[in-house]
A and B are shown apart, each in its own frame.
Chain A
Amino acid sequence: MKCSEFLQELTNYLDGVLDARTKAELEDHLAWCHNCYVVCDTTKKTIEIYRDSHLYPLPEDLRTRLRSAIMAKCSKRKKLGGEST
């Protein structure tokens, strides 16, 4: 397996959706190709860091304000809808 072929399958490999044979071929490649091992390992870390990063939390006060605004408009629409039918 060439490095470029490994890269094409990297996402499927990391997502665990490869058939057993392709997975074994990839792992065979990883065992001797240090560069691909590093790329694979650091890509996995990239995903995990972003997944655990909790960027853009919604502050509780803003959350309450947004929800109130949404629900007020929903209730109004429901009322209008009710009147029109």
Chain B
Amino acid sequence: MSAIQPKLGEPISDELALVQAAKGGDVGAFEELVRRYDRNVFRIAQHITQNREDAEDVVQDAFLKAYSNLEQFQGQSKFYTWLVRIAVNEALMKLRRRRPERMVSLDEEVKTEEDSLPREVADWSPNPEQQYSQAELRDILTRTIQGLPPSFRTVFVLRDVEGLSTEETAEALELSIPAVKSRLLRARLQLRERLSRFFQKRDGGDGTK
């Protein structure tokens, strides 16, 4: 079985030049950075907050905060990783405000290893996603990922949906690399477990409904 092919990102060679220009007062250069990453920030914010209005606020607040603090960006990491770190913090603040009864932290330790041990080991249909309409599939995927604890969900989204490396994810979330790996494994296994209910082979079937 082959490894997952990494998601190809956009070229970033001119990113630093845009940041430098924005630091020097070129608002147009900053607008280009907004255009480049607004979809990603919106997606990450929606995944964390699970609320559309909050995600819209996070997009605005994260870019404004980045703009106001551009001087602090030293270029040791990618601008995008730095921006994601700001966006994740803004999104977590929104989530905490909306759910004050629940402690929301990326450091939250989630019980034992038991919760990630595979129970469902039935094979899936060859093209499981084709068993459902686009709308049904989107609904299944959204509800399934929303069921993960925020700390797992965030790591999975950054690493597997947005294609950040383990090191970049650790940096963006201020977590250690082992902590990212541990959460990623458990997030992947829990999602797999939950999706199995929808995607496993039907009895005697060829995978079609």
Name A residues whose Cβ lies closer than 8 Å to a Cβ of B: 7-8, 10-16, 27, 30, 35, 37-51, 53, 55-58, 62-63, 66-67, 69-71, 73-75, 77-78, 82
Main secondary structure, interface of A, reads helix
The residues of A that contact B142 with a CB separation of less than 8 Å are 55
The residues of A that contact B68 with a CB separation of less than 8 Å are 77
C-alpha spacing A15/B30, complex, angstroms: 33
The residues of B that contact A37 with a CB separation of less than 8 Å are 1
C-alpha spacing A10/B176, complex, angstroms: 19
Say yes or no: A10-B3 contact (C-beta < 8 A), given A46-B195, A70-B34, A71-B27.
Answer: no
Interface string of B51-87 (1 = CB under 8 A from A): 0000110011001100110000000000000000000
C-alpha spacing A9/B75, complex, angstroms: 33
C-alpha spacing A40/B1, complex, angstroms: 9
Distance between B60 CB and nearest chain A CB, rounded to angstroms:
6
From A30, A62, A82, give the contact of B1 (CB < 8 A): A30
From A15, A45, A67, give the contact of B3 (CB < 8 A): A15
C-alpha spacing A83/B142, complex, angstroms: 47
Contact call A49/B160, Cβ cutoff below 8 A: no
Contact call B122/A55, Cβ cutoff below 8 A: no
Minimal Cβ-Cβ distance residue in A for B52:
A56
Give me 14 A-to-B residue pairs in the complex whose CB atoms sit less than 8 angstroms apart, sorted by A's number: A10-B189, A15-B3, A27-B1, A37-B1, A39-B121, A42-B124, A44-B4, A46-B192, A50-B156, A55-B46, A55-B47, A67-B34, A71-B34, A74-B63
B20 at the interface (CB under 8 A from A): no
Say yes or no: A70-B121 contact (C-beta < 8 A), given A55-B43, A57-B39, A75-B27.
Answer: no
From A12, A42, A57, A66, give the contact of B123 (CB < 8 A): A42
